[in-house]
Chains A and B, each alone.
Chain A
Amino acid sequence: MSKQMGQDGGKVGGPPRHGGPPGPGGPPGMMLPGAKPKNFKATLNRLLGYLKPFRMRLVIVFLTAILSTLFAIVSPRVLGEATDVLLSGWMDKFNKVPGAAIDFKQIAFILAILALLYVISALFGFIQQFLMAKVAQKVVFQLREDVNAKLGRLPLKFFDSRSNGDILSRIVNDVDNIANTLQQSLTQMITSIVTLVGIIIMMLTISPLLTLILVLTLPVSFIVIAMVAKQSQRHFKNQQDQLGSLNGHVEEMFTGHTIVKAFGREKQSIEKFEQMNEKLYGSSWKAQFISGVMMPLMSFIGNIGYVLICVVGGLQITKGTISVGDIQAFIQYARQFTQPIMQTANIANIIQSTIASAERVFELMDEEEEQELAGAGKTLQQPQGNVSFNHVQFGYAPDKLLMQDMNLQVNSGQMIAIVGPTGAGKTTLVNLLMRFYNIQDGQITIDGVPIHEMQRSYVRSLFGMVLQDTWLFNGTIRDNIAYGRANASEAEIVAAAKAAHADHFIRTLPDGYDTILNEEASNISSGQKQLLTIARAILADPPMLILDEATSSVDTRTELYIQQAMHNLMKGRTSFVIAHRLSTIKDADCILVMNQGTVIEQGTHDELLAAGGFYADLYQSQFANGGSGEVEMEMTEYKG
C-alpha cells in the first residue's frame, strides 16, 4: 500500500492527468507527467489508500480466507484416508485374514477430524465474508461521499461541458463495479490462487503422474476458452449494436407517439421494428449459444481428465503404487480444479475493469476546483445593490473572448432589461453576476466591492434568481419553497407563497403544502412551478434579482399572475430581467441589447429607438405587423 495516499481523508488529490494545473492538496509528482493515459499503478495505489483505514480488518479477512481454503483443501485427503482404512479392513476380511475387521475406531477418529476441519473452514469462510461486507460497503460509501463532495466544489464550467449521464455513470456504475470487486472478486482472487496452489501440491503428494495428466489437459482448456470467447465477443457486440438501434427506434417512436398516430404511421413503425427485432434475434441466439457452449466443452475436458484418472489410477492401484483412498481424494481435487482456473483466468479482466472504473472516478476527483482568492471574504454592511461592470473581458474559452470591454453602471433599485435573439448570450450575464464563471479581465463590483474579493456563496446570497427552467426537487411543496432560506418559519413560507400568487393553487391540491412533487414534478403545471420558484426567491429576500421572464409554456392568465408576482418581487430591488415583454422593456431603466455574446447597445427604450441600431430593427420587425406588443424572442436555452 502506498504510504502517501489517503492521509488527507478521502480528498486524495494526486495531480491531474495530462499535465493540467495541479489540483489542491495533493502531493505532486506521484505520477509522471506524460505517462500512459491509463496509469494503472497510481490508480491502484490510490484505491488502496481507501482501504488503508481498514487494513487490520483486511489482514484478518485475508488470513481467514486463506485458512478457510486450506482447511477445505486438506479435507479430501483426510477423507481418502478414511476410505483406505475402510478398504484395508474390508480387503483383509475379504481375503479371510484371521481376526480381520474394519477399524471403526480409526474411521470415527478420522471422520471426527474431518468434521472439525469442515466446521473450521466454514467458520473462517463466514468471518471472512462477514467482515468484508462492512469493509467493501464502507469504502464504497466513502468513495461516493468524496465524489459527491467534489461535485459541490467544481465550477459550473465543469457541469456545462459534460453530460449528466456521464457524471452519473461514474458515480453509480463505476463505483458499483468497485463495490462488487471488493465484495466478491478480491477474496475470490485470493482463495482461487490458494486453492490452485494447494490443490496442485496435494495432488503432487498423491501422485505426480496423475497430476501431470491433469495439468496436460489445461492448455486444451485455455485454447477452448480463447476460441469460444473470441467468437462470442463478436456476436455479443452484434447483439449489443442491434439492441442499441432497436432501443433507439422504440425511444423515437414512443416519444413521437402523437405524430405517429396523427399521421397513421403505426404500420410502418411496426414494420421497421420487426426488421430490427428479427436481426436482433439472429445475433442474440448466436451470442447466447456460443457462450453457452463454453460450459459443456469445459466439463467435457474435465471429464476426459476424470476418465484418465480413473483408468490410470485404477491401473496403478492394481500395481499397488497407489491406494483407493488416494484416487478418491484425487478425483475430488480434479473436480475442484477447473473452477479456480477459470476464476484466475478472469482475475486479469476483473482487475483491469476495476482499475479503469476507479480511474474514471478519480478523474472526476482530480478536476480543477473553484478557488477563492486569498483574502476573499469581504462582506457588505448593508447591501444597496449598486452594480457596475468595468472593462469586463470574458469568454468561455480563454482564447475566444465574447466580451471585449463591457462597462455598465446600475444604481440601487433600478431595473435592467436584457434583450436579444437566441444565443445572444443573455445567460452569460447571469453566469458572470452570480460568479458561476470568472471574468478574464476587468472588474464587476457590488456597492464598490469587486465580487472576486467576496466569497462566491456571499455573492450568490445577494441575488435572487428565477430561471425559466424551474428546478424543483422530489419533496413537499413546503420544502421546495423553503429552499430559498434555511429555517424559514411556516408563516414566512405561506406569506411568500401568497406574494407569489401560489397560495391559492397550493391550497386546492389535496395535501396542500404537504403535497409531494413527484420525480418530474409533473403533478403541477409549468406555470405553477414557476410560481413556486418565485415564492422561493421572495422567501430568500435578496437585495438583487435575476429574472427570466420567458413563460413560453404558460397561458396568458397564469402569465398575468406570474407577472404580478414578479412585480411584487422586484419592488425596491435592483433587478436584471431577461425580458420578453414590451411593458418590461419600456419600464426598464436601462436596456442591454445583446448579440453574439456581448452587449452591443445600451440605453432606454426611447434612446435606443432614436439611435436606430440593432434594437430599433429588432423592435420594428416584431411590432410592425399586427400591432402586437409582445417581444418574442426564441426561448433562451441554458448551456448544459
Chain B
Amino acid sequence: MLQLMRYLKPYGFTIVAIIILILLQSLADLYLPTLMSDIVNNGIISGDTGYIWKMGGFMLAVSVVGTIVSILASLYASKVSSAFGKVVRHKVFSKVESFSTQEFDKLGTASLITRTTNDINQVQQVVLMILRMMVMAPLMCIGGIIMALYKDVKLSMVLLVVVPILAIAILAIVRIAMPYFKMMQKKLDRINLVLREGLTGIRVIRAFNRTSYEEGRFTESNKDLMDTAVKVNQIMAFMMPLMMLIMNICVIAIVWFGSHRIDANDMMIGDLMAFIQYAMQIMFSLLMMSMMLVMIPRAQASAVRINEVLDMEASVKDEPAFKQAAAKPGFEATEAVIAFDQVSYTYPGAEKPAVENLSFTCKQGEVTAIIGGTGSGKSTVIQLIERFFDSNQGEIRFKGVNVKDWSLDELRGNIALVPQKTTIFSGTVAENIRYGKEDASDEEVREAAAIAQALPFIERMEQGFDTMLAQGGTNISGGQKQRLSIARALVRKPSLYLFDDSFSALDYKTDAALRAALKTHVHDAAMIIVAQRVSTVMHAEQIIVMDEGVIVGKGTHHELLQSCEVYREIVQSQLSEEESA
C-alpha cells in the first residue's frame, strides 16, 4: 500500500492543501461548541439577548466557512484519488504490455486483468477514503483534545483514562475479527468455485449421476461459510454497543467530575456542555479510524497484487546497444533468413530444457515444417524466434544478426505470426486484417484475404470488409477466424512467416488451397509451419521432427519415412497404410 503511495507524490501540494482544508473544517466544527458555550455562559445566564443574536450570526458564518472548506476538500480529494487511479492504471497497463509470454504465464492472464481493473479500483476507493476521512479523524481527535485542554485541563484527565480504554477495545475487536474476515473471503471464493464447477460440468455430473455428491460438496462449503459469517457478525455485534457504552460512560464521568469543578468555581456551565461535545468528537474520530482499519487490509491485498505486477521486470528487453538492422549490410537472398545454432532453452524452474541444441536454417522462399508431440518443443521454437523469451544457450540469427541484437520492434516488424490460438479483436474485418500493417491499402487487405482463402466468406457477409466482429470473434466460426488471422499475417509482407499450428480448424480443401496459394504468392519470405497433421507438412521443403526437445529428424517426407522412426510413428497414427506409401 505504502509502496503505491509514491504515485501520489506529484500531488503533494494538493494533498497538503487538502489537509489544510480539512484542518480548517475540523476547526470550524470544533469552534461551534465553544461559541455555544459562550452563548450559555455570557448570553443566557446574564440574559443578554443581543449577545445571543450576535453569537448566533457568528456561528452561522463559521458554519458557512466550514461547509465551503469541506466542499473544496472533497473536490481536491476526488481529483487526487481519481488521478492516482489513472496514474497507477497507466503504469500497470504499460508494464503489462511490456511483459513477455513468460510473465503472462507466471501471473496468468485472468489475474492480470483483475489486477489492472478491480484491484486498482479497490485501491483508488481507499485512497479517496483516506483523503476524506482518514485525514479528518486524527485532526478531529487532536483538535478535540486541544480544545478540551483549553477548556479545562483537570477535567481532561477523564479523557486520559477513557480514550486508551476505547482504543484498546477497538484494537482488540479488530484483532479478533480480522482473521475471520479473511477466512470469510476464502470461503466465499470456495463456494463460488464449487458452484462454477457444478455449472460447467453439468453434463458430466448428470452422466455419472453425481448430482447428490455435488450437492453434498456445496452444502459443505455453504455451511462452512455460514459458520464463519455468523462468527464475524457476532463479533461485530459486540463492537458497536460496547463502543457506545464506553462513550456514554465517559459523558457521565465528565458530568460528574465537571459538576464538582463547577461547584468549586473552576469551570462555567457552558464550558461543561462544550466539553461533552469535544469528548464525543474525539471518540467518534477514534471509531472512524477503526472503521478505516477494517477497510485497509482489503485494499492491502489488492495493493500487493498490483505491486507484484509493477515490480516484475519484463524478461525480454531491447539490449542497451542493439544494432540497427540496417547496420548489417548486404543481406543476400541466398542466405538463411533464420538460423538456429546450438540453441537451448529451459523454462524457469523446469528441470529439463524445453529445447536442446537446436540447429537448423530456413531459406527464403522455402517452407520448413516442424512436427512433433506435445511437449516436444515445437511452439518453443516459434516463441524463441519472436523473442517472447530469450535462449539460454546458442544463437538464433535473423538475417545474419543475432536476434538479441535486433530491436524488438524491428525484429517483430519483419516477422508475421499466426498463433495457435486465434485472436480476433473487436472491430471490422478490415481493421482486424490491418492489424498486421496499419497503412495497408484496401487492395492489399483484399489481396491478403484472397490468399488466406477468406475472401469468399467475407464477401458473403452483409457488410463485407466492414462487418463488425465481436471481441474474440464469437460471431464467426473457428475456421473463419483462422483465415482472418492468416490474412493479418499476409498483409504484413514480412521476411518470415510463422504458422503455429494454424491450419487445424480448416477443412482439407481449404487447407490445400491455402497452401497452394501461399506457394504461388510468397516468394521473398521464409515460412515455418508447426503442425500436427502430416498432410499439412508432407509437402514442405524441409521437415524437422522434434521429440522431447531435440531434433530427431530433418529432411523431406520421403527421406524421413526411410530414416526417422518417430516420424514413421506419427505418420502411421494418422494415415492408413496405402495412403502413406
- Which residues of the partner chain A approach B575 to less than 8 Å between Cβ atoms? 627-630
**Nearest CB of B to A545, in Å:** 11
- Taking a contact as CB atoms under 8 Å apart, the answer to whether B419 and A258 are in contact is yes
| A607 contacts B by Cβ under 8 Å | no
Chain A: number of interface residues, binned into ranges: 35 or more
- Taking a contact as CB atoms under 8 Å apart, the answer to whether B538 and A626 are in contact is yes
Nearest to A554 among chain B residues (CB) is B374
Give Cα distance in the complex from A293 to B77, angstroms: 11
- Taking a contact as CB atoms under 8 Å apart, the answer to whether B242 and A122 are in contact is yes
| B298 contacts A by Cβ under 8 Å | no
Q: Which positions 207-264 of chain B face chain A at CB distance < 8 Å?
A: 207-215, 218-219, 222-223, 225-226, 229-230, 233-234, 236-238, 240-242, 244-245, 248-249, 251-252, 255-256, 259-260, 262-263
**Nearest CB of A to B189, in Å:** 10
Q: Which of A39-47, A124-132, A209-217 contacts B (4 or more CB under 8 A)?
A: A124-132
Q: Which positions 421-479 of chain A face chain B at CB distance < 8 Å?
A: 422, 434, 436, 456-457, 460-461, 463-465, 467, 471, 473-474
- Taking a contact as CB atoms under 8 Å apart, the answer to whether A137 and B230 are in contact is yes
| B331 contacts A by Cβ under 8 Å | no
- Taking a contact as CB atoms under 8 Å apart, the answer to whether B40 and A318 are in contact is no
| B423 contacts A by Cβ under 8 Å | yes
> When the two chains form the complex, which single residue of A144, A303, A557 contacts B573, counting CB atoms closer than 8 Å?
A557
Nearest to A314 among chain B residues (CB) is B52
| A347 contacts B by Cβ under 8 Å | no
- Which residues of the partner chain A approach B579 to less than 8 Å between Cβ atoms? 623, 627-629
- Taking a contact as CB atoms under 8 Å apart, the answer to whether A264 and B413 are in contact is yes
- Taking a contact as CB atoms under 8 Å apart, the answer to whether B32 and A306 are in contact is yes
- Which residues of the partner chain B approach A205 to less than 8 Å between Cβ atoms? none
- Taking a contact as CB atoms under 8 Å apart, the answer to whether A273 and B93 are in contact is yes
| A638 contacts B by Cβ under 8 Å | yes
Given contacts A269-B97, A307-B60, is CB(A625)–CB(B512) below 8 Å?
Answer: yes
> When the two chains form the complex, which single residue of B204, B236, B421, B569 contacts A467, counting CB atoms closer than 8 Å?
B204
- Taking a contact as CB atoms under 8 Å apart, the answer to whether A252 and B67 are in contact is no
Q: Give the A-B pair count, Cβ closer than 8 A.
A: 431
Give Cα distance in the complex from A306 to B93, angstroms: 50
> When the two chains form the complex, which single residue of A118, A248, A288 contacts B249, counting CB atoms closer than 8 Å?
A118
- Taking a contact as CB atoms under 8 Å apart, the answer to whether A263 and B269 are in contact is no
- Taking a contact as CB atoms under 8 Å apart, the answer to whether A629 and B574 are in contact is yes
- Which residues of the partner chain A approach B533 to less than 8 Å between Cβ atoms? 628, 630, 632
Give Cα distance in the complex from A104 to B260, angstroms: 8
| B336 contacts A by Cβ under 8 Å | no
**Nearest CB of A to B221, in Å:** 10
- Which residues of the partner chain B approach A72 to less than 8 Å between Cβ atoms? 244
- Which residues of the partner chain A approach B574 to less than 8 Å between Cβ atoms? 556, 628-630
Chain B: number of interface residues, binned into ranges: 35 or more
Give Cα distance in the complex from A295 to B488, angstroms: 55
- Taking a contact as CB atoms under 8 Å apart, the answer to whether B245 and A119 are in contact is yes
- Taking a contact as CB atoms under 8 Å apart, the answer to whether A248 and B471 are in contact is yes
B488-511 CB mask vs A (1 if < 8 Å, else 0) is 100010000000000011011100
| A635 contacts B by Cβ under 8 Å | yes
- Taking a contact as CB atoms under 8 Å apart, the answer to whether A629 and B374 are in contact is no
| A297 contacts B by Cβ under 8 Å | yes
Give Cα distance in the complex from A562 to B79, angstroms: 60
- Taking a contact as CB atoms under 8 Å apart, the answer to whether A296 and B507 are in contact is no
- Taking a contact as CB atoms under 8 Å apart, the answer to whether B214 and A152 are in contact is yes
**Nearest CB of A to B287, in Å:** 14
Nearest to A317 among chain B residues (CB) is B44
Given contacts A324-B44, A483-B210, A525-B374, is CB(A289)–CB(B78) below 8 Å?
Answer: yes
- Taking a contact as CB atoms under 8 Å apart, the answer to whether A247 and B117 are in contact is yes
Give Cα distance in the complex from A101 to B374, angstroms: 98
Q: Which positions 137-195 of chain A face chain B at CB distance < 8 Å?
A: 137-138, 140-141, 144-145, 148-149, 151-152, 156, 159, 164, 167-168, 171-172, 179, 183
- Taking a contact as CB atoms under 8 Å apart, the answer to whether B82 and A626 are in contact is no
Give Cα distance in the complex from A508 to B40, angstroms: 85
- Which residues of the partner chain A approach B113 to less than 8 Å between Cβ atoms? 247, 250-251, 254-255
| A262 contacts B by Cβ under 8 Å | yes
Give Cα distance in the complex from A263 to B437, angstroms: 8
Q: Which positions 563-579 of chain B face chain A at CB distance < 8 Å?
A: 569-570, 573-576, 579
Nearest to B46 among chain A residues (CB) is A318
Closest 6 CB pairs of A and B: A129-B237, A628-B535, A133-B233, A311-B56, A292-B74, A288-B78
Apart from A250-B117, A266-B97, A465-B207: 17 A-B pairs, beta carbons within 8 A: A86-B259, A104-B260, A111-B255, A118-B244, A119-B245, A130-B234, A132-B237, A134-B230, A149-B215, A311-B56, A422-B477, A456-B206, A486-B210, A557-B373, A559-B573, A634-B478, A638-B203
